[in-house]
Amino acid sequence: MVRLWGKRMWMTKRAYEAVVFQTPRFGGTKSYRQVCRMTVTAAGHDEVLAVLYRMLNVADLMPKNCQARFMRTGDVVLIDEGRKGQTYDRLCPDGWKQVERQLIC
């Protein structure tokens, strides 16, 4: 949602529910399991992915209740956007790509 105030445009931040799925071994393509669930406050879908990537790749920022290893290629993130639905994104060598739910089941 964008709010106009004067001549500036402000992006309002919302709470997104995010779930990180990883395979037991790095590089695996089957048997994804949920390793971390959290609420992220961000202005949009891309910002949620950036915040999660930073949080899971800096040891001091990693949540205590998270059993995840560092975020690497092949990891999947589920972002629940409320009424807009759920999206699954997979980290690929050239960036984040949306994938189908059947990939992780």
Cα separation, 38 vs 16, in Å, equals 8
Supply the pLDDT for residue 32: 86
Cα separation, 4 vs 37, in Å, equals 33
The structure tokens listed for 78 are: 């589920």
Per DSSP, 39 falls in state E
Higher-pLDDT residue of 68 and 9 is 68
Model confidence over 47-64: pLDDT tens digits? 999 999 999 998 888 888
